[in-house]
């Protein structure tokens, strides 16, 4: 019982001669190599961003030790957020997982525009270099938060990192934005036009649906950030007054800028910023759906509802940016409207959560490391989602805004959830791309410590936040009302160190398995997706010979009467159990 | 039974045609790969133009927000903008002419039309620079007031995108020299024309936005 191979001359790749080192590893146009480049680059950036977090916690746990100066602390906060969001999660999910998986899961030879794909990676690299370079300029890197609110970001004299560091920050983000635009343009076109025959939109794996909606969001939201960054750069370098208000007194002298509107920055930024957080969560939702289905040996529950809720979340994400600005001085009616649209997002999110749970229900669950991280995703997503309900309510948000409560919220719902899905996806697809299995024991230790570390770090932050501890506060010991949160901060810091330590197991496992892991077959998980039908690792062009044809969705697990508990998408007719196979077993 | 059977039953067995995907376009793997309804190149151009649209919508909303302010210091358009507008409209005409030439198989006509379009496009960009000079002569610089700031920024961004279109035209020209376009297969020309006409319309939009809103 094999895939019916269909020759498609117009799609066939010529077998390539052995390429030079540079063409193969550096300026490759193969989506798998580009995906690995993105994967490793963003993993490195995650280490940098993680180091920033460790520094922050080292200060916050023991504020009297003076680990960081106030300026350095704000710079650590800023660079942690910037690097994790722009240089790790966004690019890992689109450039990394998207590149690796989209052509393989839809049955394409490569991306629609392979050359543009290579350009996209090589636009990202200058961004990485620029942001790292900003550590080594006078004044240090930007210290104004990943949101770069004007006027602090518009006035070079505002603070330590607001000089050259902030300028380099803007340029670095512009590189990332352009790179992401190239990428999402490519993904969108690829998913629409390069699906193999039989791979209808209704048969796409949910990972691809997630990546597809993500590409739409990125394509429509990143240009807005680009406009805002361009105007901000002009304010800083050319002396325009888009965001810098009149009558600012800087260093005792009045600013020459006139009539700029700092709120305008917030509107533009959050119009991009809210779709951005869904850019970080929709692909993970898809990845987790696929992994949960595979290891429950059950079809995903409510496929259509899963797709529609992805689309609904994507659509709604453009209508809720105002909930980041409840305290910025907004007309109360407008605030109420944003509150309503924000709460509505709970509905598609809940649909997804219930569908994951009902997929697990009565399944034969295999607790692999990938599965543990996928279930962990559901846990942290629910925890973070519930605190989101509080924050969506404008009057409650007035109290909780900018406290550690919101830090806890988005680290659960967006940061941890996204991280868990990336780790789940890495454990799940590592065998396909590197040809070897990762070590399950190390993986499970990694999961257990990470899970405990995440909850230990972020759960207590809810209480610190309810005590009105501001998220950017450097001197936490200076205020009597915070005297009770000191020990909690110590606990949080210790948990954060545990979390950081746990990642060493992952790195060790990754590097060890590359060389010494047991050799993986083509389909080690007995999964249905198209990516498991090719050889491991997939050749240039992804399939030797013709592209496979698809006859079913990727969720035919445990079909009653079938011989195996999985039926790959390329199987035309299900091989039945011999005893029950009257008239149907020959396949 | 906890699972759904997703097979189409034909003749009472599970065997012959494969499972249906769920959702609107599920179905059999058809014998040939159906040609995509929209070409891959055109889809890429459309996606790019969607991003460009969002970029200029962001500028528009910023502009309109600032426009509400009291004492908005508006200035009248430099006269050369009228000439530029006419040049750009004509360039769309020449490109459309070129596209009709290749539809009837006339590759030389295509090249002549594309050359004219690229020349007119460059002339437009020079004209925009002349408009900047006219404004500067009136003492209106990038930082003078919000209206002039937006004028310089929007014309610069539009001009940059138009220059990208000139590069695309040059590519079309090169490929036409290589004999790649025929009366039946000239998607590259169409994609380039879509982009160019969009830049044309975008300029009309910006012209109206900057001086008559």
Would you list the DSSP string of B163-185? HHHHHHHHHHHHHHHTT---SS-
Would you list the DSSP string of A366-423? ---HHHHHHHHHHHHHHHHHHHHHHHHSHHHHHHHTTBHHHHHHHIIIIIIHHHHHHH
Tokens at A538, concatenated: 């997939």
> Among residues 160-199 of chain A, which lie with CB inside 8 Å of chain B?
181, 184-186, 188-189, 192-194, 196-198
In this structure, are residues A305 and A355 in contact, taking their beta carbons and an 8 Å threshold?
yes
Residue B22: predicted pLDDT: 42
pLDDT at B10 over 50: no
- Tell me how far apart the alpha carbons of residues A31 and A19 are, in angstroms, rounded to a whole number: 15
Instruction: Give residue-wise pLDDT tens across range A168-191.
Output: 999 999 999 999 999 999 999 999
Residue B18: predicted pLDDT: 52
Question: What is the average pLDDT across B169-198?
Answer: 95
pLDDT at B162 over 90: yes
Q: Is residue A568 part of a domain?
A: yes
Residue A16: predicted pLDDT: 55
State the DSSP code for A244: P
Closest by Cα among A347, A351, A287 to A316: A347
CB environment B95-132: b (16+ within 10 A), e (fewer): bebbbebbeeeebebbbebbebbbebbbbbbebbebbb
- Tell me how far apart the alpha carbons of residues A215 and A404 are, in angstroms, rounded to a whole number: 31
Closest by Cα among A268, A266, A223, A261 to A240: A261
Task: Please answer yes or no on whether A303 and B22 come within 8 Å at the CB atom.
Answer: yes
**Among the partner residues B15, B19, B62, nearest to A587 by beta-carbon distance:** B15
Beta pairing partners, A557 = A566
Task: Please answer yes or no on whether B149 and A558 come within 8 Å at the CB atom.
Answer: no
Between vectors from CA A331 to CA B210 and to CA A278, what angle results, nearest 5°? 80
Instruction: Give residue-wise pLDDT tens across range B85-100.
Output: 999 999 999 999 999 9
How many structural domains are present in chain A?
1
Residue A388: predicted pLDDT: 94
The upper half-sphere exposure of residue A97, i.e. CA atoms within 13 Å in the direction of its Cβ, equals: 34
Residue B13: predicted pLDDT: 41
Residue B33: predicted pLDDT: 52
Q: Is residue A552 part of a domain?
A: yes
Identify the H or E element spanning A253: strand A253-254
At the topology level, CATH places domain B40-50+74-212 in: 1.20.120
pLDDT at B174 over 60: yes
Residue B102: predicted pLDDT: 95
In this structure, are residues A32 and A110 in contact, taking their beta carbons and an 8 Å threshold?
no
Tokens at B136, concatenated: 């500067």
Measured from the Cβ of residue A239, the count of other Cβ atoms closer than 10 Å reads 14
Q: Could you list the residue range(s) of the whole structural domain that residue A565 is in? A: 539-587
Instruction: Give residue-wise pLDDT tens across range B33-86.
Output: 556 778 899 999 999 999 999 999 999 999 999 888 777 888 999 999 999 999
Q: Is residue A33 part of a domain?
A: no
CA of A370 to nearest chain B CA: how many angstroms apart?
22
Instruction: Give residue-wise pLDDT tens across range A476-503.
Output: 888 999 988 999 999 999 999 999 999 9
pLDDT at B194 over 60: yes
Residue A577: predicted pLDDT: 74
Question: What is the average pLDDT across A529-539?
Answer: 94
Residue A1: predicted pLDDT: 33
Displacement of CA A41 from its chain's centroid (Å)? 14
Q: Is residue A403 part of a domain?
A: no
Q: Which residue's structure tokens are 């959560």?
A: A353
State the DSSP code for A260: -
Which of A123-137, A141-155, A167-181, B156-170 has the weakest average pLDDT? A141-155
Instruction: Give residue-wise pLDDT tens across range A216-228.
Output: 999 999 999 999 9
**Among the partner residues B1, B30, B61, nearest to A197 by beta-carbon distance:** B30
Residue B21: predicted pLDDT: 52
Q: How far is CA A434 from CA A335, B10, B213, in A?
A: 50, 41, 58
* Percent of the residues in chain A that have a pLDDT greater than 70, as a whole number: 95
In this structure, are residues A330 and A379 in contact, taking their beta carbons and an 8 Å threshold?
no
- Tell me how far apart the alpha carbons of residues A375 and A361 are, in angstroms, rounded to a whole number: 13
Residue B2: predicted pLDDT: 31
ipTM of predicted assembly, 2 dp: 0.91
Between vectors from CA A143 to CA A132 and to CA A73, what angle results, nearest 5°? 95
pLDDT at A525 over 70: yes
Instruction: Give residue-wise pLDDT tens across range B20-33.
Output: 554 444 455 554 45
Q: Using a CB-CB distance cutoff of 8 angstroms, which residues of chain B are in contact with residue A185?
A: 44, 47-48, 51
pLDDT at A581 over 90: no
pLDDT at A565 over 80: yes
Tokens at A102, concatenated: 């989209």
In this structure, are residues A477 and A486 in contact, taking their beta carbons and an 8 Å threshold?
yes
- Tell me how far apart the alpha carbons of residues A464 and A489 are, in angstroms, rounded to a whole number: 8
Residues in chain A: 587
- Residue B12 zone, left/alpha/beta (φ > 0; ψ -120 to 50; rest): left
* Strand, coil or helix: B9: coil
- Tell me how far apart the alpha carbons of residues A282 and A206 are, in angstroms, rounded to a whole number: 10
Among chain B residues, the shortest Cα distance to A364 is held by B2
Q: Is residue A561 part of a domain?
A: yes
Displacement of CA A427 from its chain's centroid (Å)? 16
Which of A549-558, A572-581, B103-112, B197-206 has the weakest average pLDDT? A572-581
Query: In the predicted model, what is the mean pLDDT of chain A?
Result: 91
Residue A578: predicted pLDDT: 61
Closest by Cα among A126, A132, A123, A51 to A94: A123
Strands (E) in chain B, as ranges, are none
Q: Which residue's structure tokens are 């007119």?
A: B120
Question: What is the average pLDDT across A553-560?
Answer: 89
Interface probe, candidates A237, A552, A581, chain B, greatest B C-beta count within 10 A: A552
Q: Is residue A77 part of a domain?
A: no
Q: Is residue A14 part of a domain?
A: no
Beta pairing partners, A150 = none
Q: B78: exposed, middle or buried (C-beta count within 10 Å: 0-12, 13-18, 19+)?
A: buried
Strands (E) in B79-120, as ranges, are none
Question: What is the average pLDDT across A66-82?
Answer: 94
Among chain A residues, the shortest Cα distance to B144 is held by A240
Interface probe, candidates A119, A193, A194, chain B, greatest B C-beta count within 10 A: A193
Interface probe, candidates B39, B54, B155, chain A, greatest A C-beta count within 10 A: B54
Q: Is residue A431 part of a domain?
A: no
Instruction: Give residue-wise pLDDT tens across range A87-115.
Output: 999 999 999 999 999 999 999 999 999 99
Instruction: Give residue-wise pLDDT tens across range A336-372.
Output: 999 999 999 999 999 999 999 999 999 999 999 999 9
Displacement of CA A251 from its chain's centroid (Å)? 40
Instruction: Give residue-wise pLDDT tens across range A274-308.
Output: 999 999 999 999 999 999 999 999 999 999 999 99
pLDDT at A248 over 90: no
- Tell me how far apart the alpha carbons of residues A99 and A283 are, in angstroms, rounded to a whole number: 12
In this structure, are residues B100 and B190 in contact, taking their beta carbons and an 8 Å threshold?
no
pLDDT at B110 over 50: yes
């Amino acid at each position: 019982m094999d895939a019916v191979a269909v020759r498609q001359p117009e799609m066939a790749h010529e077998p390539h001669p052995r390429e030079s080192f540079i063409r193969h590893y550096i300026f490759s146009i193969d989506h798998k190599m580009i995906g690995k480049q993105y994967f490793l680059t963003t993993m490195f950036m995650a280490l940098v961003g993680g180091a920033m977090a460790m520094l922050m916690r080292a200060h916050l746990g023991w504020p009297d030790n003076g680990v960081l100066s106030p300026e350095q602390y704000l710079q650590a906060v800023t660079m942690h957020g910037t690097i994790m969001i722009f240089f790790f999660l966004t690019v890992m999910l689109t450039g990394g997982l998207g590149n690796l998986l989209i052509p393989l899961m839809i049955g394409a030879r490569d991306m629609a525009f392979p050359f543009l794909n290579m350009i996209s990676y090589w636009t990202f690299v200058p961004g990485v270099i620029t942001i790292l370079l900003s550590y080594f300029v006078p004044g240090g890197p930007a210290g104004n938060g990943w949101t770069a609110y004007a006027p602090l970001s518009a006035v070079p004299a505002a603070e330590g990192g607001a000089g050259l560091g902030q300028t380099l920050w803007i340029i670095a983000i512009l590189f990332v934005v352009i790179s992401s635009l190239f990428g999402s343009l490519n993904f969108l076109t690829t998913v629409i036009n390069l699906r193999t025959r039989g791979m209808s939109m209704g048969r796409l794996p949910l990972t691809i649906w997630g990546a597809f909606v993500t590409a739409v969001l990125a394509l429509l939201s990143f240009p807005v950030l680009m406009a805002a960054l361009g105007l901000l750069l002009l304010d800083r370098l050319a002396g325009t007054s888009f965001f810098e208000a009149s009558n600012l007194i800087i260093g005792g002298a009045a600013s020459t800028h006139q009539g700029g509107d700092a709120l305008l920055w917030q509107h533009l930024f959050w119009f991009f910023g809210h779709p951005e957080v869904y850019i970080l969560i929709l692909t993970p939702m898809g990845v987790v759906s696929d992994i949960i289905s595979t290891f429950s040996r059950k079809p995903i529950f409510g496929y259509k509802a899963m797709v529609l809720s992805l689309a609904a979340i994507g659509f709604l994400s453009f209508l809720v940016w105002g909930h980041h600005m409840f305290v910025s001085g907004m007309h109360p009616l407008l605030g109420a409207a944003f509150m309503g649209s924000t709460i509505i997002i709970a509905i598609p999110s809940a649909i997804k959560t219930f569908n994951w749970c009902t997929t697990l229900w009565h399944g034969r669950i295999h607790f692999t490391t990938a599965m543990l991280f996928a279930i962990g995703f559901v846990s942290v997503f629910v925890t973070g989602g519930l605190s989101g309900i509080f924050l969506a309510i404008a009057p409650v948000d007035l109290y909780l805004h900018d406290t550690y409560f919101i830090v806890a919220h988005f680290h659960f719902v967006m940061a941890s959830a996204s991280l868990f899905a990336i780790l789940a996806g890495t454990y799940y697809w590592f065998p396909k791309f590197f040809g070897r299995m990762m070590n399950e024991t190390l993986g499970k230790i990694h999961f257990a410590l990470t899970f405990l570390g995440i909850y230990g770090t972020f759960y207590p932050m809810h209480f610190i936040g309810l005590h009105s501890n501001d998220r950017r506060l450097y001197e936490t010991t200076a205020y009597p009302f915070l005297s009770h949160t000191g020990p909690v901060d110590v606990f949080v810091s210790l948990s954060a160190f545990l979390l950081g330590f746990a990642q060493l197991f992952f790195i060790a496992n990754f590097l060890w398995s590359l060389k010494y892991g047991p050799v993986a077959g083509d389909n080690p998980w007995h999964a249905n997706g198209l990516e498991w039908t090719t050889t491991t690792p997939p050749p240039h062009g992804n399939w030797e010979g013709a592209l496979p044809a698809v006859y079913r969705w990727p969720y035919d697990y445990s079909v009653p009467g079938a011989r195996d508990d999985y039926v790959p998408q390329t199987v035309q007719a299900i091989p039945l159990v011999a005893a029950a196979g009257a008239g149907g077993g020959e396949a | 039974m906890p699972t759904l059977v997703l097979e189409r039953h034909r003749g009472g067995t599970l065997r012959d045609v494969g499972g249906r995907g769920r959702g609107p376009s599920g179905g059999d793997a058809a014998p040939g790969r159906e040609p995509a309804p929209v070409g891959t190149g055109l889809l890429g151009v459309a996606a790019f133009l969607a991003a460009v649209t969002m970029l200029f919508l962001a500028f528009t909303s910023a502009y309109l927000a600032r426009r509400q302010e009291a004492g908005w210091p508006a200035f009248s358009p430099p006269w050369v903008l009228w000439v530029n507008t006419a040049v750009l409209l004509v360039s769309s005409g020449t490109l459309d002419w070129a596209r009709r030439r290749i539809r009837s198989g006339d590759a030389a006509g295509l090249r002549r039309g594309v050359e004219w379009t690229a020349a007119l496009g460059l002339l437009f960009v020079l004209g925009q620079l002349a408009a900047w000079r006219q404004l500067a002569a009136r003492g209106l610089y990038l930082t003078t007031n919000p209206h002039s700031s937006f004028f310089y920024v929007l014309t610069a961004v539009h001009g940059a995108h138009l220059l990208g279109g000139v590069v695309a035209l040059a590519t079309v020209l090169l490929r036409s020299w290589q004999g790649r376009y025929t009366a039946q297969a000239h998607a590259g020309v169409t994609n380039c024309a879509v982009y160019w006409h969009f830049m044309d319309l975008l300029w009309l939009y910006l012209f109206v936005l900057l001086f008559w809103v």
